[in-house]
Structure 1
Amino acid sequence: MDVEKIFHMTGGDGETSYSKNSTLQKKASDKVKFVTLEIIEQVYLMTAPKSLGIADLGCSSGPNTLSNVREIVHTIEGICQPAPPPEFRVYLNDLPTNDFNAIFQALPDFYTDLKNKRSQPPILYIAGYPGTFYGRLFPDNCLHFIYSSYSLHWLSRVPPGLYDDKCRSINKGSLYISKSSPPQVPKAYSKQFQEDFSLFLNSRSKELVSGGGMVLILLGREGPNHMDRGNSFFWEILSRSLASLVNKGDVEKEKLDSYDVHFYAPSKEELEYLIRKEGSLKLDRLEMFEIEKDVCDDGTSYGTRVAMTVRAIQESMLGHHFGDAILDDLFEIYGKMVDEEMAKEDICPMTFIVVLRKI
């Protein structure tokens, strides 16, 4: 399965779109927004550029994307007053399958909003920049600040170590690392993450100017156990949901046995080790946090909201492999299973914020 050609958040603004179902990601970025804005402020004061280069890697589409740009512009404008701010060069990056059109269609209103609130609007250039961030994207020394939220836990590919010499999955019945997975499975996932993350760091270090900074927000796990009751447990529930459709005869068992996700939740120790080993960037901050599980005003259960979020993220991959016809039933079952598990014991998906600098 060619991840780069298939994987994307669900576009548009329909009921299953990422635009309508990315509030959990927004809550995470908002929780650590003060860190993001503090770093962009420090980078600007240290480098004092006339043209400020910013990249959002894995930008997706929907309101979160331009919200981040607006906050950064406001912050830099506040530092510069009464002098005019620098010009802003903003590169919005994601895979070519991303719904860039939705972003472009939102730009006229975004620019109008900036102009209406200022006597002298900022000089702002925004461009879509399709391509995988596992490798070079930009020229040397052209960026001052890089931001990536909820993207780096997605691997460049399904780890090849999950397959035997006849290209059959060794992780039958599971989408990710589970208690039934053979020892080669966590090793394969860890190896792929090491390769991808190291390549990401090396590529970004060449693209950042000296004094440039980077803020990364990604899912992870607490401690060495891959099968914690956090992010990996949500994949366990999705495996069970698909298994229930197998039992009903709606999904072939062979289809389930041959499906593996391109996801990895690293530990704090893994991140620290890989950053030190790659060596091109200085680690300033690495913290773990959890998003509070608030009550939805319309009475929607937590499980339903998680199901809609996961669907907006995984619909492209699941639809390609299993067919779109199963998706409604699959995520109805999934939402109910999440609620049932939450009634027994809390599920605690953890998120990291990582701050890196180029010396």
Structure 2
Amino acid sequence: MKVVDVLHMNGGIGDISYANNSLVQRKVILMTKPILEQAISDLYCSLFPEALCIADLGCSAGANTFLVVSDLVKIIEKERKKHNLQSPEFYFHFNDLPGNDFNTIFQSLGEFQEDLTKQVGEGFGPCFFSGVAGSFYTRLFPSKSLHFVHSSYSLMWLSQVPDLTEKNKGNIYMANTSPPSVIKAYYEQYEKDFSKFLKYRSEELMKGGKMVLTFLGRESEDPSSKECCYIWELLSMALNELVVEGLIEEEKVDSFNIPQYTPSSEEVKYVVEKEGSFTINRLESTRVHWNASNNESNGAYNVSRCMRAVAEPLLVSQFSPKLMDLVFQKYEEILSDSMAKEKTEFINVTVSLTKINSLNLEQVQ
């Protein structure tokens, strides 16, 4: 499985689309808005640029993509009016892997711009938008062309499934039954990938450029703790039930692993400081319930749909598409039982960074 070819959220605007099943991701964007607001305000007030170039990495598709754009424009407009300045030109780059549903983004663009004008008023912008298909573990933009980078709930995805020397038998992700070598391989892949990400963004950001990144993460020191891995463990249970029923080969489950790593705040800090291109301004963790809907009676249904929108393309690369309805029906039943007994929350790690001036870096060295 080449991750770059198969990792994308369910496209379109249908019942199992990411656009209609990403309420958790929306809540996280709203929860971390104060960090975003401080970072973009500090950037604007230190540079007062006539044009602002902003990249949203792992943008996916749907209302969440435009929520970030809307927030950034409103924050800048508030600041520039305080200083009695003309509104800057906005350049927004939407980035995701080639399989992303960019069509839905651009088909919604006209309506979004009309709504934004109603909210902000005339006189801002102009705004320019582009789609950039490619992995953020590679170079995506010209040198020193970006002012600001945003990414939410994307950087926990790895560039590839870690190279495992032992089978992760019965599991599709890290679990307490995974061999130590599996846990080690996952961490090493994360450190390698995140270091690459920081290196390439430092090349693309202008002097004083900033980033706000939110990971699906954890608070525990244990990478295989339930707080970050349980959601996948329950999905592996659903798959293993189909193995018992003879509908899926056991080998197919044993050879399938989710290309994701949910870091702790300490691990994020360690890699940032080790790579050396950025200074940390803020590093915080937050929590959000698995079921972000106000409708508690449909909790397991909502969580199953959310996870299907995220994971189905990966599963289809390994298992029959005809089994997906059955897989997620079983998953919903398992989720319902688990959520009735336990407190189920996602942990989010958000970091605000500023690119270190190369001259200052030389002076430090």
Q: Please tell me the TM-score bracket, short chain as reference.
A: over 0.9
Aligned to 1:58: 58
Correspondent of 1:274 among 268, 271, 274? 271
Q: Which residue of 2 aligns with 1:148?
A: 151
Cα-to-partner distance string for 1:84-140 (whole Å, 9 max, x where unaligned) = 210001000000110000001001112222344523242100100110000211111
The reply on whether 1:8 has 2:24 as its aligned counterpart is no
What secondary structure sits across from 2:108 in the alignment?
Answer: helix
Q: Out of 81, 87, 90, which is 1:85 matched to?
A: 87
Q: Does structure 2 retain, via aligned residues, the 8 Å contact 1:229–1:349?
A: no
Question: Which of 189-198 and 326-335 deviates more?
Answer: 326-335
The answer (yes or no) to whether the contact 1:287–1:354 under 8 Å persists in 2 is yes
From 84, 96, 107, the equivalent of 1:94 is 96
1:337 counterpart = 2:337: no
CA contact (8 A) 1:275 1:281 kept: yes
Q: How does 1:33-52 map to 2 (within 5 A)?
A: 33-52=33-52
Deviation of the 1:281 alpha carbon: 0.3
State how far apart, in whole Å, the 1-side matches of 2:310 and 2:211 are. Answer: 24
Q: In 2, are the aligned partners of 1:77 and 1:84 still within 8 Å (CA)?
A: no
Partners of 1:295 and 1:53 in 2: how far apart? 32
Equivalent pair of 1:205/1:358 in contact (CA under 8 Å): yes
Correspondence for 2:315 among 298, 312, 318: 318
SS at match of 1:42: helix
**Cα distance between partner residues in 2 of 1:145 and 1:347:** 33
Partner SS state of residue 230, structure 1: helix
Between the aligned partners of 2:294 and 2:282, the Cα distance in structure 1 is: 35
Partner of 1:135: 138
Q: CA deviation at 1:158?
A: 0.3
Moved over 6 A (4+): none
Instruction: Report the Cα distance in structure 2 between the residues aligned to 1:311 and 1:330, rounded to whole angstroms.
Output: 10
Task: Please list, as runs of the form range in 1=range in 2, the aligned pairs for 1:102-121 lying within 5 A after superposition.
Answer: 102-116=104-118, 118-121=121-124
Could you list the per-position Cα deviations for residues 201-234 of structure 1 after superposition, in whole angstroms to 9, with x for gaps in the alignment? Answer: 1111111111111000111121221232212011
CA distance in 1, matches of 2:221, 2:74: 40
What is the RMSD computed on CA atoms of the aligned residues? 1.5
The offset of 1:13, in angstroms, is 0.3
Aligned letter for 1:185?
V
**Secondary structure of residue in 1 paired with 2:318:** helix
Partner of 1:352: helix, strand, or coil? strand
Q: 1:182 to 1:295 in 2, by over 3 A?
A: closer
Given residue 136 of structure 1, which amino acid in structure 2 is its aligned partner?
A: R
The alpha-carbon deviation at position 293 of structure 1 amounts to 5.8
What are the equivalent positions in structure 2 for 1:1-359 lying under 5 Å apart?
1-81=1-81, 82-116=84-118, 118-160=121-163, 162-163=164-165, 170-292=167-289, 296=293, 300-359=297-356
**C-alpha distance in structure 2 between counterparts of 1:267 and 1:76, whole Å:** 31
Residue type at the aligned position of 2:349: F
Q: Distance in 2 between matches of 1:297 and 1:210?
A: 43
Unaligned runs of 5+ in 1: 165-169
- Distance in 2, Cα, partners of 1:259 & 1:86: 48
CA distance in 2, matches of 1:21, 1:221: 22
Please say if residues 221 and 266 of structure 1, whose CA atoms lie closer than 8 Å, have aligned partners that are also in contact. Answer: yes
Shift of the 325–144 alpha-carbon distance from structure 1 to 2, 3 Å rule, reads: same
Distance in structure 2 (CA, Å) of the matches to 1:299 and 1:178: 28
- Write out per-residue CA displacement over residues 291-333 of structure 1, whole angstroms, 9 at most, x where no aligned residue: 1466845565222211111100111110121011111111111
1:179-208 CA-to-partner distances (Å, cap 9, x unmatched) read: 221111000000000100000011111111
Instruction: Extract unaligned runs of 5+ from structure 2.
Output: 357-365
Q: Tell me if the contact between 1:114 and 1:121 (Cα under 8 Å) persists in the aligned partners.
A: no
Contact conserved, 2:23 with 2:292, CA < 8 A, in 1?
no
Q: Confirm or deny: 8 A CA contact 1:229 1:348 kept in the other structure.
A: no
Paired residues of 1:223 and 1:268 also in contact (CA < 8 A) = no
Q: TM-score, normalised on structure 1?
A: 0.95
Tell me which amino acid in the other structure corresponds to 1:9.
M
Task: Report the count of equivalent residues.
Answer: 353
> Once the two structures are aligned, what percentage of the paired residues are identical?
41
Show the counterpart of 2:359.
none
Q: Residue 190 of structure 2 aligns to which amino acid in structure 1?
A: F
1: distance between equivalents of 2:255 and 2:290? 33
Moved more, 149-158 or 79-88: 79-88
How has the CA–CA distance of structure 1 residues 135 and 296 changed in structure 2, closer, same or farther, with 3 Å as cutoff?
closer
Find the counterpart in structure 2 of residue 167 from structure 1: none
Distance of aligned partners of 1:102 and 1:226 in 2 relative to their CA distance in 1, 3 Å threshold: same
